[in-house]
Structure 1
C-alpha cells in the first residue's frame, strides 16, 4: 500500500449541477501528512491539492460560511495532531487558501478522527453537514472509516460525505469509498491534476434552499454461477473445500468498479468482504474460499449510476473442511533432517512449518515447505539447533486468513561434535582437521580468530558432507601469525550454533628474494628465493610505491619450483624503481613475507629509414636495440600515440641487432613514423622512432 495522505473538504460542494441544499456551515479538513510530498508527473501532490483547493474556493459564494481544519501539520507520528485553524464564517476563502499555502506537511493520517471532529465542529446532529474527502491513501491511525461514516450518518440530521480518491488504486479506492456510500455521498477517482480539478468542479454548485429529489435508480441484470456446481439453482449451496480456488461464471454490466466478492451468509454491507476480484478480469474469474467451514455468499457488486455499490446477484456456496495428516518421527537430532509425509488440501500457498511448542501465530516460523499440488507428499525440513519440543503444522492459505489445520509435536535432541588439530602450525600451511559430528546437510568446520564469537565471517571452511565422520579434512591456515580456533558449526532451522571448537597457534614463516640491483628494461631477471612454497604463494614484480596485494606486473608461483631454485621474470619495459616480493597466501589473507628494491634502466635503441618512400614499396629499416623476445618495430601514422594499431611490423628476435629488415610502406600518401617497441612485464614503451613521408609512385 502506498504512503497515506488525505485532503478533506467539508460541506464544500453539492452532489450535481441540479442539486440543492439547505444553508449550512462548511469545514475544510486538509491532510498535512508527509506523503503529500509524493509527485504526480513531476509535481508534488501537495501543490496539486493547494491549487485545486484555491480553484474551488474562488468559485464558492461569498456568503458560504467556510472553516479550515488540518492534521499532521505540527509534528510527525502523532494521531492526535488535529486543529481548527480558521473558524467557519462567511468570506474566509482567501484566508483558507493562504493558510494552506503556508502549511507544513509532516505527520500521520487520522482520517476517521478528523471526519468526526469536523462533523462535531459543524454540530452535525442539529445542522446539515457535508464532507468532501480528497485522499491519496488510507487510514493509518487504527480506526475504521467505514464504521465511523455509518455511525455519523445514523446520528446526523443530514450528514453527507463525498470522496475523491487521489492517485489511489482500484482496491485502495474501494476501501475509502464506503465513507461516501454509507452517508449517501459519491466516490470519484482522480489520477492526476486535471482529473482532481474535474472531480471538484463536477461537485460545485450554488447552495440553495431545498434538496433535489434523486432520479430513479435502474438496477441492471446480472447472474452468478459456480463452475463446479452440479445444480443450476443459484439458491442451492455448492460445495468447495476450505482455501480452494474456484471459478465464478458471471454476467452483468461490468462497469469500471464492479467486482465479485465472497462474504458470510446474510452479510449485507458492500465493504469488509473476505475477498474480491474485479469483473474486468473476465468470466470466469477465480475466487479463493475462506479457511473456516460454513455457508457463504458469492455476490456481484455493481457501482451504480448513483455512485453507490449495490448487490445485484448472489449465490450460496458451502465451504467444507479438508482431510489433513502429518507423519513425522517423534525425535530428531538437532540440525538433522525431518522426513515428513503429508496429506492436505494442497491449495496454492499452503505450507508445512516448524515452530516452537505453543507458538500460535501463522508467521515467524523457523522453517517451512510449500505443499502445492505439484509437490511430493514426502518432504523434508531441517531441525533447529536448539534442543526442545517443537510443532510441525499444516498451514492453510485461505481467502480471509491463514489457518492452522493440524499441529503435531516433535522433540529435537542434543547433537554432539568434536574437532581436533595440531596446537601449532606454520602460517599459510595446510592443516589436517579431524572431526566427528552429525554431518548435517549444511554443517561445516571453519577457522576464525580466537576472539571471534558470531556465526559467519569465517576465514576458511569445509562442509562436513564432503568427508566422513571421524575423517580428517584439509584447511589452509591463515597467512598472519596469531591465535585462532577451529570450530564445528551446526546449521539448523532458525539459528546456527557452535558444537565444538579448539584453539591453535599460527607461527610466523620466513622467506627471501634476491635480484641484481640494476637491470635493463625488458630483460630476463634471475630471481633467487627461499620460502614455504605454499600452494598459492608467488613472487611478483611491482612498482616501488605499490603497497597492496594484487596488481602485479609479472609473477611466478613458488609451487612450480623448489625453495632456493633460481627462477626468471621479465623486467618491466618502463625505466624506474621497482620491487620484487614474496607473497604468502593463506586462508582469507595474503601478506608480503620478503621484498627487495631494484632499478630498471632504459636500454639504447635506434631506427632508421629513408626520409621519403613510394606508396606500397618495400622499405629497408636499419635498427639497433635489446631485441627482447617480444620487441618489435612497426609503422604507424605520424600522429599515432598508442601501442598497438600498427600498419606493419616485424619482431626483432627474428634478426640480428643492426641487421636491416624490410617493411611494406603504406599505400596511402602521407606522414608516418617507424618505431622500436620494447615489451616488458605488463608494459610496452617506444624506445626510438623516426618520421618519414609516403609519396605517390
Structure 2
C-alpha cells in the first residue's frame, strides 16, 4: 500500500521504492484465545460453560470472512496443574474458521488458567507477520499462573508487537480480582473489555469485538541523534551515515540530527561515524504511536600507549622507564598496587626514558600510562624484589652525644636515619646522602629509643633499639661576680652543636650567652644589674638541661668631668665602670639621643667632643652600647 511508504522529513533525502514489497500490508489477522481450564465445566442455567462457548464460537465463526487470517490458541485442555499447558492450535491464516469450530467442539477442559501467557503466545505467533492484528480472549476466571498480567501486557507493547487484545470475561461477575486483571490486559493493549453472563451476552460480546476493525498502522516520527561520550554528550559534527533495515530490505541516509517517519515494524537502525570509523546499531520497535527520539552514543577513541621497563626491580630503587604515548599535558607514568592508587609518578614531559622511584615494599605492582592524569590507558606488571636493610650502631650511646651510624638501604631521595621514642615522633635525623656512616645527634633524655630507616622521609622500613645513657652535667663558676664583668666558666656536658652557657634571672629570658665550642672554660659577660641570677647549660640552644645560681655584686660607677665646658671643645673625661666590650661615654640632651661618644677601651680618661650648641647636657656611661647605667650633667658654654 502506497500510504505505508515512508515520508521523509528534515535533513534526510531517502529513496523508498525498494521498500515497497517489505512494507505491503495484507488484511489484519485475528487470533481467538479460548479458556479450556477446568472451571469451564461450571454451569450457567444448567448448561456447562464450555458447551455454551462451543455453540457461540460456532455461530460467530460461521460468518467470519474467509479471506481474513484467523488463528486459534487455547489453554488448560491437556493436563491438570500445568501452567505450561498452552497450545497455538491454528496459526493465523485465511479460511481456518471451520477447522477452529471443529477443534473447539472437541475441547475437554481440565487444567489451570494461564490466560496472560496465552495472550503472549498469541502475540508471538503474530510476530513473524509484523502487521496489525487482533487477539480475542475469552476466559471465565482469575489468572492462576502469571503473577502480574498488567506488567506482561505492557512488556508486549514495549516489544513492538502491534496488536490489540479484546477481553471477554465469561461468568466473572462479582470476581473483583479477575475483572481487574482482564480489564488491565485490554487497556494496556488498546482493546475493549466486555463481560458476558450467559450465551446471549457471550454472542453479543464476540460479535462486537470480531466486528471491531483493527487499527491501520500509522507512521512514527523518529528523531535520530549521534552524540559523543554519553546520552547528554555533544552532537557529532562530522558526517553520520544511517542505515535502516526491515525484512531484508535496507536504505542509507546521511545527516545529524534528522527527522524521519517510519511505519510500524522491528527496524534495525545502524549509525556509522565516518571520521572515527565506528558503528553503532539498535533494534527499534516502531509501533505507530507517539514521536520518539533515539540517541546513538559514540566514544572518543582512547589513545594507545606502551611502556618499556624491566619485569622486576629491587625495592626502593630508581629505574628508567621508556614510553610511547600521546604525551599530552599532565601525562605521567605511575607505579601502583594492582588496581590500587598510585604510589609514585613521573611526568612524561620530564624525558624519555624517565626515572621513577619504586616502592620499598616487595610484591607485585603495575606500571601505568595515565592520560592527562585522569585516564589509565596502558598498564604492565612489575615485580618488586626485596633488598637488604640494616642500621649499624652501638647498643648504647651517651645522652646528647653525636654518634656515627652505618646503614644499608635503598638510598632514595630524602632517605634518612632517625632517632625517637618507640612509636613516637622522631627527635633528630640525618640524611643518608650525607655519608655512610653518618653522624646523628642523640637525645638528651636517657632511656630506650629506636633508630629508624625512613624511606623518602615518608615510610619507616627498618628499626633497631638503642639505649641512651645519662651524661655528666656541670657548670664550674664562682658563686659571685661583679656586675658587668666578664668571667671564665667551666662546663661538663654533651658539647652538641649550638650548646651554650647562658646567664639570666631565674625562670626568665637569658641576658648573655657563649657557645661551648668557644672553649672550656669560656668567657661570659655578667649582667650590669646586681642581684641573684642563674647560669644555664642550654642543649643545642633549645633545652636547658642544667642550672646553678650566681650572685651579681654591685660595682662602682662614676664619670669624672668638669661642670662646664666650651661649646665644640674636646675635653678629657675620667670614668669608673665595668669596662665591658663596647662600653662608652656619651653626651646628649637629657632624655635625648647621644650626640658624641668615645669607647672606654680608648683610655681613662677618654677624650670626648662637646656639642656646638650651648646648654645643659648629660654625660652617660653606656654598658655594652646597650644600656645607660650612669649619668651626670654638664653645662656647655658659649
For normalisation by structure 1, the TM-score amounts to 0.47
SS across alignment from 2:517: helix
Task: Return the match for 2:405 from 340, 353, 363.
Answer: 340
Q: Deviations over 1:49-104 (max 9, x none)?
A: xxxxxxxxxxxxxxxxxxxxxxxxxxxxxxxxxxxxxxxxxxxxxxxxxxxxxxxx
Q: Provide the C-alpha distance between the structure 1 equivalents of 2:408 and 2:515, rounded to a whole number of angstroms.
A: 34
Identify if the C-alpha distance between structure 1 residues 593 and 254 changes in structure 2 by more than 3 Å, giving closer, same or farther: same
Q: CA deviation at 1:537?
A: 2.5
User: Cα offset for 1:572?
Assistant: 1.5
Which of the residues 507, 513, 525 maps onto 1:476?
525
The 5 A counterparts of 1:86-235 are: 210=293, 212-226=295-309, 229=310
Larger-gyration structure (1/2): 2
Distance 2:570 2:377 in 1: 93
TM-superposed deviation, 1:394: 0.8
CA–CA separation in structure 1 for the residues paired with 2:231 and 2:358 = 32
Which blocks of at least 5 consecutive residues in structure 1 are unaligned?
Answer: 1-17, 19-180, 188-207, 230-237, 602-697
Kindly state the Cα deviation for residue 185 of structure 1 after the two structures are TM-superposed.
8.1
Match of 1:429 in 2: 485
CA distance, structure 2, for counterparts of residue 438 and residue 282 of structure 1: 49
- Measured after TM superposition, the shift of residue 594 of structure 1 is 3.1
Pairing partner for 1:397 from 453, 456, 463: 456
Shift of 1:264: 2.3
1:438-469: per-residue Cα shift (whole Å, max 9, x none)? Answer: 433433221111233xxxx422222223334x
Q: Is 2:362 aligned against 1:293?
A: yes
Equivalent position of 1:560 in the other structure:
602
1:242 deviates by 1.9
Aligned to 1:526: 572
Given that 2:485 and 2:525 are in contact with CA atoms closer than 8 Å, whether structure 1 keeps it comes out as yes
Match of 1:411 among 467, 471, 475: 467
| 1:591 pairs with 2:628 | yes
- 1:239 equivalent among 312, 333, 358: 312
Offset, 1:571: 1.4
Is residue 517 of structure 2 the alignment partner of residue 461 of structure 1?
A: no
CA change 1:221–1:395 in 2 (3 A) is same
What does the per-residue CA deviation read over 1:100-132, in whole Å, with 9 as the maximum and x for residues that have no partner?
Answer: xxxxxxxxxxxxxxxxxxxxxxxxxxxxxxxxx
Q: Does 1:420 align with 2:479?
A: no
Structure 1 residue 328 displacement after superposition: 0.7
Q: 1:443 pairs with 479, 499, 502, which one? A: 499
1:403-445 residue CA offsets vs partner (Å, 9 max, x unmatched)? 3222111001112222233232221112232333343343322
Contact conserved, 1:479 with 1:591, CA < 8 A, in 2? no
Residue 371 of structure 1, CA deviation? 1.5
Does the 8 A contact of 1:511 with 1:594 survive in 2?
no
**Contact 1:420/1:502 (<8 A) preserved:** no
1:385·1:496 contact (CA, 8 Å) conserved in 2?
Answer: no
C-alpha distance 417-256 of structure 1, shift in aligned 2 (>3 A): closer
Which residue number corresponds to residue 536 of structure 2?
487
Which residue of the other structure, out of 335, 342, 349, is the alignment partner of 1:262?
335
**Runs of 4+ deviating beyond 6 Å:** 181-187
Contact 1:443/1:463 (CA < 8 Å) preserved in 2?
yes
For the 8 Å contact 1:524–1:568, the answer to whether it is kept is yes
Distance in 2 between residues matched to 1:184 and 1:261, nearest whole Å? 32
> How far 1:514 sits from its partner (Å)?
4.1
In structure 2, relative to structure 1, the CA distance for the partners of 1:422 and 1:184 (3 Å cut) is farther
Q: Is the contact between residue 389 and residue 462 of structure 2 (CA under 8 Å) also seen in structure 1? A: yes
Aligned-residue offset at 1:322: 1.5
Tell me, in whole angstroms, the C-alpha distance in 1 between the residues paired with 2:582 and 2:399: 37
Q: Distance in 1 between matches of 2:406 and 2:540?
A: 23
Q: The residue matched to 1:353 in structure 2 has which SS?
A: strand
1: distance between equivalents of 2:232 and 2:536? 69
Please show how residues 48-87 of structure 1 align to structure 2 within 5 Å. Answer: none
Separation in structure 1 between the aligned mates of residue 524 and residue 455 of structure 2, nearest angstrom:
46
Q: Distance in 2 between matches of 1:186 and 1:276?
A: 32
- Relative distance call for 1:570 and 1:185 in structure 2 (3 A) is farther
Of 357, 362, 371, 2:422 maps to: 357
Rounded to whole Å, the distance in 2 between the matches of 1:430 and 1:320 is: 64
Please give the alpha-carbon distance, in whole angstroms, between the structure 2 residues aligned to 1:379 and 1:288: 23
Residue aligning to 1:366: 427
SS at match of 2:471: coil
User: Equivalents in 1 of 2:231, 2:404: separation in Å?
Assistant: 59
Q: Distance in 1 between matches of 2:388 and 2:368?
A: 28
1:540 to 2:599 alignment: no
What corresponds to 2:46 in structure 1? none
Aligned residues: 356
- 1-side partners of 2:463 and 2:293: how far apart? 64
RMSD over equivalenced CA pairs, Å: 3.2
Structure 2 residues without counterparts, runs of 5 or longer: 1-10, 12-227, 235-290
Deviations 1:565-613 (CA, angstroms, capped at 9, x unpaired): x443221223333211222339xx5232232232343xxxxxxxxxxxx
- Partner residue in 2 for 1:377: 436
SS of match in other structure, 1:212: strand
Shift of 1:393: 0.9
For residues 336 and 302 of structure 1, the distance between their equivalents in structure 2, rounded to whole angstroms, comes to 52
CA contact (8 A) 2:499 2:538 kept: yes
Q: Which moved more, 1:254-263 or 1:536-545?
A: 254-263
Tell me the distance in 2 between the aligned counterparts of 1:182 and 1:397: 41
How does the TM-score come out when normalised to structure 2? 0.51
**2:553 paired residue among 497, 507, 510:** 507
Q: Structure 2 CA distance, aligned partners of 1:420 and 1:311? A: 69
In 2, Cα distance between equivalents of 1:539 and 1:310: 77
Q: Equivalents in 2 of 1:536, 1:428: separation in Å?
A: 12
Q: Distance in 2 between matches of 1:443 and 1:353?
A: 21
Partner of 2:388: 323
Preserved CA contact (<8 Å) 1:291 1:397: no
Alignment of 1:603-618 (within 5 A): none
CA contact (8 A) 2:568 2:612 kept: yes
**Aligned residue number for residue 151 of structure 2:** none
Matched residue SS, 1:573: coil
Q: 1:573 to 1:371 in 2, by over 3 A?
A: same
Deviations 1:600-655 (A, max 9, x none): 43xxxxxxxxxxxxxxxxxxxxxxxxxxxxxxxxxxxxxxxxxxxxxxxxxxxxxx
Q: SS of the residue aligned with 1:254?
A: coil
